[in-house]
Amino acid sequence: MAETVLDVEALSVTLDTPSGPLAAVHHVSFALERGQSLGIVGESGSGKSMTALALMNLLPRSATRQATRLRLLDHDLTALPDRRFAQDLAGQRIGMIFQEPMTSLNPVYTIGRQLTEGVVRTGQMDAAAARRRALEMMARVGLPDPATRFDQYPHQFSGGQRQRVMIAMALMAEPDVIIADEPTTALDVTVQAQILRLMADLQRDLGMAMILITHDLGVVAQTVDRVAVMYAGEFVETGQVAQVLGAPRHPYTAALLHAAPEPDGARHRLAAIPGQIRPVYGQRSACVFENRCAHATPDCRAGHPGLRAAAPGHAYRCVLPPQPRPAAVQPQPTGQPRDVGSAPPVISLTGVSRVFASRATPFHRPHSLRAVDRVDLDVLPGETFALVGESGSGKSTLARMLLGLDTPSEGEIRIDGQPVSALQGVDRARRIQPVFQDPYSSLNPRRRIGEIIAQPMALHGLGSAAERSQAVEEVMARVGLPEAFRHNYPNQLSGGQRQRVAIARALILRPEILVCDEPTSALDVSVQAQILNLLADLKAEIGLTLFLITHDIGVVHQIADRVAVMQAGRIVERGPAARVLHSPAEAYTRTLLAAVPSIARALATGAQERGQPDGH
Amino acid sequence: MLKYILQRVALALAVAVVLSFVTFLLLNFATDPAYAIAGEDAEPEVVEQIRKTYGFDRPVLVRYAEWAGGVLRGDFGESYYWNKPVAELVADRAPVTLLLAVMSLSVTVVIALPLGIVAALNPNSALDRMALGIAVSAQAVPNFWLGLIMIILFAVQWRLLPVSGDATLMHFVLPSIVLGASSVPAVMRLTRTGMLDVMESDYIRTARAKGFRGAALVRRHALRNALLPVISVLAVQLGAKFSGSVITETIFAINGLGRLALESILGSDIPTVQILIFLFAIVFVAMNLLADILNAALDPRLRIA
Ligand SMILES: Nc1ncnc2c1ncn2[C@@H]1O[C@H](COP(=O)(O)OP(=O)(O)O)[C@@H](O)[C@H]1O
Ligand code: SF4
Ligand SMILES: [Mg+2]
C-alpha cells in the first residue's frame, strides 16, 4: 500500500452570507495516495473550488473550515496555524493551478521571477539553482526557448503558454500533492488536450498525487483514476472512473452523463436536468438533489441520505438500491424534410474577407491581419449550419458581418438574395437576429425581462403596447419561460433562463435566421442540454434557420445538419455534419476531433492506458 | 520606449504652448495693461500714451509672438510693478516654492500611502474606518483654516515651530504639513481602492498559493500594481502644490512663487502673472509626462509590443 499523502475526513466549509450560513462544502471525505489522481466533477456552484481553496488555506474571509481530519503527509492541518502552513507547506508540499491563466500571473514581473521566487523564499534553492530548475521545468512543460522566455512578461505569452507556466510554477518545488481547478476550461480544445496529457504525464513521472477539478465529464474520464461527483457541497458519488462513469448509481451522475452530448454516439434528444442547483443553508434534512431528481420519493425528503456502497470502492448518496439508471431516450425532432436541392440559399457569402489594419501606436508597427479570408458559403433555409474552429479563427468576425455589425473588406454577403449592406433597420431585424454567448452580460440588468424581450419591437417602433405584450407572452411560452418572469430582472434568473430570454428576444420579430455565437459555452452541461433541445425544437416547429458558431464538437454533433471547419480565417473543410464528424478529410479537422474529450472513448481505452499497477 | 517618450514630450510641449497662448489672450482682454501701468484713475491721454510706448495698440498675435520669442531666448520681460526683470524675480523665488512643494508632497506620501495600504489590508476594520474618517475630515477642512489652527497650536501656544517666514528649514514644516494634508484624502483613497483590487486579484491568490503572506506578499506582489495608478495622481498633486502655494505662502509669509503671484495679481503686473501661469502650466504638464514615463517603466505591458 502506497503512502497516503492527503487524508480528508468530513471537511465542511461554511460561508457567512446575507441569507445565512451557506454550507458550500459538506462532510467531504477522501484520501489520496502518492501517485494517485482524483477528479472532482460537478456543475458550477457545487463547491468544487471551495473544497480546493479549503485544502490550500485560501478560503475567503467570510468562510470557516471544519474537518474531523485533515492531514497532509504527517501534518495535521486543522491544528496548524496559517503562518506555519504558508511557511512549510504551501507551494512546497501542496501546489495549485488555477482556472484563469490570463490573470493568475502577476503582469508586472517576469515569468522567471515568478517561477523561482517560491523555492528561493523557502531556501530550498539559491537563485542560480532555481533558475536552472525553472529552465528545466519550462522545457519540460513544452515552452519553447526557455532561456529567452525566462525574462519575458506574462502578456507576451498566449493563454495555453501561460497555463504551462502555471504548471511549471506549481511543480518547481516538486510538491507531493497538486490541485488543478478547471485548468483547461479557459482554453481551446486542442490546447486542452495537450495540457491534460502533459499533466497526466507529469503526475505519473513525478509520482505526485493530483486533484483535478472540472465540470467536464470527458476531461475526468481521460485523465484521472478516481472520481467524485459533487453536488450542493457534498460528494454524491465516488469510485473508480470506470465505476462512476460506466455504471453510475446516483441519479445525478446518471443525469449528468445523459445530458452531455457524446460526439461518438448516435444522435438523440438530450436528457436535460430540469431546474437548478439549490444552495443549502443550515442543516441538511433531505436529499440535496431532490428538487431535480426524476426518481424522488417521499423517502428522499424524510432525511439526508447516507452513503451506500455500490461495489468495493464505489459509493453513492441516495436512498435507491444500486441499480442502473437509464435515461428515457427520445428522438431529436427534425421537422419536415426539406427539398434541399431546389431552395435558394438564405445566406450566401462569396469571396468574403475581413482585413484588420492595426493602427500604428507608440509600440506597434501597423500591420494587417486577414481575420476572414475569402470565404464562400451557402446556408439553406431551415437547416442548422455550424461553423467550428478554435478561438481566433475568425468565427465571430464572420458572424458580426452576417449581422451587419461589421462590413466585409472584400466580397459580398447576401441574405434572401439581397446584399446585407442594402438591408437596413426593420428589414434586416426581421430576417436575422443574434444570440450571444454570455447570458450574464448580454442582458441589460436594469430592465425587466418583459421589456428586454420586447426591445427589438420597441427599437423599430413596431406594434402597440398591447400587441407587444401579446408577442412577449407568445414568445416566452415558445422558449419555455414561465409568464411570471416578465416582471423579474435578469439577476433573478439562472444562466439557462437568461439564455432563454436572449433567444426569446431574438425570436420576437419572427426572423428567418438565428445567429448563435457559442450559445451554450457559458452554461453547465445540464443547462446546455435544455438550450440545445430548445434550439432543435424551434428549428423543427417554426422552420428556423440556425447559424451556429461553436468550438464544441459535442454541440455540433447534437444539432447541426452541415458543418464548416474554420482555421485562420479560411474554411478548410465542409460537408454534412455526420460525414465531417465521422470521416473527416482534413488533418486539422481530425486534430480538432481527436482533442474533444469523449467519455465513451476514455472508458473503452481507459483502464489499460492509465495502467493501474496495483489494481485499486 | 525612446520613441514613446519623444512623442509624449512633443505632446507636452504643444499643450504648454496652447496654454501660454490662452493665458496671454485672457490676460490681455480681461485687463487693460495700459491702465494697469498708468493706475486706476489716470487721464485717458496718459493711458493712450502708455499704450503707444509699450506697443499695446498692436495686434495681440504680434505681441504674443514677441513675448513667446522672448521666453524662448530666456527674456521673460520686465515687471511694471517690481521694476525688475521677471526672470530675476522668478529665479529668486522658485527655490523656496520648489522646496515647499517637494516637502509637502513627501508629507502626502508619508501619510497617505501607509494609511491607504493598511486600510486596504484590513477592510472594514477599526483601522480602515479611522483612515476613512481622517480622509473625510481632511477633505472637509479648508486649507487656510488648518494653517491658522496649526500656527496657533504649534507656533503660538506651544512655541515648537516658527510662525512665519522662510529663513530655516524649520519654517517649512508647518506649511508643508498644511499643503501636504490637502492631498492626503485623494491619494489615500486611491491607494486603498488600488490595493483592495489588487489583493482580490487572481495573481495574489497565486502568490498566496506559493506561500507568500503578510508583508512579503504586499511588497513582492501587490505594491507595484497597486501604486501604478497612484503615481499619476501624485504627479498631478505635485503640480497642484505649485498653484496651491499661493494661499499657503501667503498665510505663512513665505517669499515663494505663490506669494509673488498673489502680489503681482493685486498689482496688475501682467508680465509677471503671465510668466507665472505659464510656469505653473509647464510644471503640471511636465509632471504628467514624468508620471507617464514612470508608469511605462514600472508596467511592462505599456513598454513592449
Ligand atoms: N466569496 C464567496 N462568498 C460567498 N459565497 C461564495 C463565494 N464563493 C463561492 N460562493 C458560493 O459557494 C458555493 C460553492 O462555490 P464554488 O466552490 O465556487 O463552486 P464551483 O467551484 O463548484 O463552481 C456556491 O454556492 C457559491 O455561490
Ligand atoms: S435520494 Fe431520492 S431524490 Fe435524492 S437522488 Fe436518490 S432518489 Fe433522487
Ligand atoms: Mg470553480
Using an 8 Å CB-CB cutoff, list chain B residues near A86. Answer: 208, 211-213
3-class secondary-structure state, position B3:
helix
Does residue A611 have a pLDDT over 50? no
Does residue B14 have a pLDDT over 60? yes
CA distances to A162, A191, A258, A524, A554 from A390, in Å:
17, 10, 26, 20, 14
* Pairs from A461-466 (Cβ < 8 Å, separation ≥ 24): A462/A426, A462/A509
Predicted local confidence at residue A262, as pLDDT: 74
| Residue B303 and residue B296 in contact, taking contact as beta carbons nearer than 8 Å | yes
Q: HSE on the CB side for A164, CA within 13 Å?
A: 26
Strand-pairing partners, residue A20, are: A17
Strand ranges inside A471-601, DSSP E: 513-517, 545-550, 562-567, 570-576
Least confident of A51-65, A194-208, A430-444, B37-51: B37-51
**To which residue does cell 437547416 refer?**
A383
Does residue A450 have a pLDDT over 80? yes
Rounded to the nearest 10°, the torsion over CA A513, A519, A520, A522 is -170
Q: HSE on the CB side for A395, CA within 13 Å?
A: 27
Does residue A331 have a pLDDT over 70? no
Q: Dmax over Cα atoms in chain B, in whole Å?
A: 84
Please, what is the end-to-end C-alpha distance for chain A in angstroms?
A: 10
Please name which of A108, A115, A101 lies closest in space to residue B223, comparing C-alpha atoms: A108
Average pLDDT over residues A100-112: 92
Predicted local confidence at residue A337, as pLDDT: 43
Decide whether any atom of ligand 2 lies within 6 Å of the A289 Cβ. yes
For residues B103 and B192, give the distance between their C-alpha atoms in angstroms, rounded to a whole number. Answer: 23
Domain annotation for chain A: domains and CATH numbers: 4-102+176-316 (3.40.50.300), 347-431+511-600 (3.40.50.300), 448-494+501-509 (no CATH)
From atom 6 of ligand 2, which residue's Cα is the shortest distance away?
A: A318
Q: In what order do the strands lie in the sheet with A570-576?
A: A432-435, A513-517, A545-550, A384-388, A562-567, A570-576
Please name which of B205, B16, B79, B54 lies closest in space to residue A169, comparing C-alpha atoms: B205
| Residue A65 and residue A54 in contact, taking contact as beta carbons nearer than 8 Å | yes
Does ipTM surpass 0.90 in this model?
Answer: no
* Ligand 1 pocket, mutate which of A46, A179, A215, A256 (most atoms under 8 A from CB): A46
- Specify the amino acid at residue A85: F
Does residue A436 have a pLDDT over 90? no
Question: Where does the pLDDT of residue A606 fall: very low under 50, low under 70, confident under 90, or very high at 90 and above?
Answer: low
Instruction: Put residue A256 in one of left, alpha, beta given phi > 0 → left and psi -120 to 50 → alpha.
Output: alpha
| Residue A335 and residue A543 in contact, taking contact as beta carbons nearer than 8 Å | yes
For residues A389 and B139, give the distance between their C-alpha atoms in angstroms, rounded to a whole number. Answer: 56
Predicted local confidence at residue A70, as pLDDT: 97
Burial letters A344-359, b for 16+ CB under 10 A, else e = ebbbbbeebbbeeeee
Q: Tens digit of pLDDT for each residue in A542-555?
A: 889 999 998 888 88
> What's the CATH number where B191 sits?
1.10.3720.10
Compute the mean pLDDT over every residue in chain A, rounded to the nearest whole number: 88
For residues A613 and A1, give the distance between their C-alpha atoms in angstroms, rounded to a whole number. Answer: 11
**Structural domain includes residue B17:** no
Least confident of A392-406, A602-616, B181-195, B262-276: A602-616
**Structural domain includes residue B85:** no
Q: HSE on the CB side for A603, CA within 13 Å?
A: 18
**Structural domain includes residue B46:** no
Decide whether any atom of ligand 2 lies within 6 Å of the A295 Cβ. yes
Q: Tens digit of pLDDT for each residue in A353-403?
A: 998 876 555 455 566 788 899 999 999 998 999 999 888 888 888 999 999
Least confident of A29-33, A317-321, B55-59, B147-151: B55-59
For residues B86 and B84, give the distance between their C-alpha atoms in angstroms, rounded to a whole number. Answer: 6
For residue A236, the 8-state DSSP code is: E
Q: Which atom of ligand 1 is nearest to the CA of A51?
A: 17
Q: Tens digit of pLDDT for each residue in A299-312?
A: 999 999 999 999 99
Q: Suggest the residue from B5, B205, B210 to mutate for an interface test with chain A (most A CBs closer than 10 A).
A: B210
- Residue of chain B nearest A100, judged by CA positions: B202
What nine digits make up the cell of B303? 513598454
The rounded Cα A238 to chain-centroid distance in angstroms is: 22
What nine digits make up the cell of B213? 503572506
Q: At what angle do helices A495-507 and A465-478 cross, to 10 degrees?
A: 130
Predicted local confidence at residue A615, as pLDDT: 37
Does residue A328 have a pLDDT over 70? no
Average pLDDT over residues A414-430: 87
**Structural domain includes residue B225:** yes
Q: Which residues sit with their C-beta closer than 6 Å to ligand 1?
A: A 15, 17, 24, 42, 44-50, 60, 62, 279
Decide whether any atom of ligand 2 lies within 6 Å of the A307 Cβ. no
What nine digits make up the cell of A505? 428576444
The percentage of chain A sitting over the pLDDT mark of 70, rounded to a whole number, equals: 93
**To which residue does cell 508583508 refer?**
B215
Of residues B265 and A108, more confidence is placed in A108
Using an 8 Å CB-CB cutoff, list chain A residues near B299. Answer: 107-108
The percentage of chain A sitting over the pLDDT mark of 90, rounded to a whole number, equals: 54
Average pLDDT over residues B33-54: 79
From atom 17 of ligand 1, which residue's Cα is the shortest distance away?
A: A47
For residues A415 and A163, give the distance between their C-alpha atoms in angstroms, rounded to a whole number. Answer: 42
For residues A484 and A596, give the distance between their C-alpha atoms in angstroms, rounded to a whole number. Answer: 39
What nine digits make up the cell of B151? 500656527
- The alpha carbon of A189 and the centre of ligand 3 are apart by a number of angstroms equal to 19
Count of domains forming chain B: 1
For residues A264 and A270, give the distance between their C-alpha atoms in angstroms, rounded to a whole number. Answer: 14
- Specify the amino acid at residue A384: T
For residues B116 and A572, give the distance between their C-alpha atoms in angstroms, rounded to a whole number. Answer: 56
Q: Suggest the residue from A88, A104, A116, A359 to mutate for an interface test with chain B (most B CBs closer than 10 A).
A: A104
Instruction: Give the range of the structural domain holding residue B132, as residue numbers without chain letter.
Output: 93-258
* Ligand 1 pocket, mutate which of A15, A214, A220 (most atoms under 8 A from CB): A15
**Structural domain includes residue B186:** yes
Phi, psi of B76, rounded to the nearest 5 degrees: -90, 5
Does residue A130 have a pLDDT over 60? yes
**Structural domain includes residue B293:** no
Does residue A431 have a pLDDT over 60? yes
For residues B284 and B276, give the distance between their C-alpha atoms in angstroms, rounded to a whole number. Answer: 12
Question: Where does the pLDDT of residue B55 fall: very low under 50, low under 70, confident under 90, or very high at 90 and above?
Answer: confident
**Structural domain includes residue B48:** no
For residue A102, the 8-state DSSP code is: T
Q: Tens digit of pLDDT for each residue in A266-297?
A: 677 888 888 878 888 888 999 999 999 989 99
What is the full DSSP assignment across A276-334? Answer: -----BS---S-TTTTT-TT--HHHHHS---EEEEETTEEEE-SS-S---PPPPBPPP-
| Residue A562 and residue A577 in contact, taking contact as beta carbons nearer than 8 Å | yes
* Pairs from B205-209 (Cβ < 8 Å, separation ≥ 24): B205/A58, B205/A98, B205/A104, B206/A98, B206/A104, B206/A105, B206/A106, B206/A166, B206/A169, B207/A106, B208/A56, B208/A58, B208/A86, B208/A90, B209/A56, B209/A58, B209/A90, B209/A91, B209/A95, B209/A96, B209/A98, B209/A170
Of residues B219 and A558, more confidence is placed in B219
**Structural domain includes residue B129:** yes
Element (H, E) at B291: helix B270-298
Predicted local confidence at residue B154, as pLDDT: 87
Q: Tens digit of pLDDT for each residue in B122-142?
A: 988 898 998 888 888 877 888
Query: Of the candidates A58, A86, A107, which has its C-beta nearest B301's C-beta?
Result: A107
Rounded to the nearest 10°, the torsion over CA A461, A465, A468, A470 is -160
Strand ranges inside A67-108, DSSP E: 69-72, 75-76, 94-97
Predicted local confidence at residue A359, as pLDDT: 59
| Residue A220 and residue A38 in contact, taking contact as beta carbons nearer than 8 Å | no
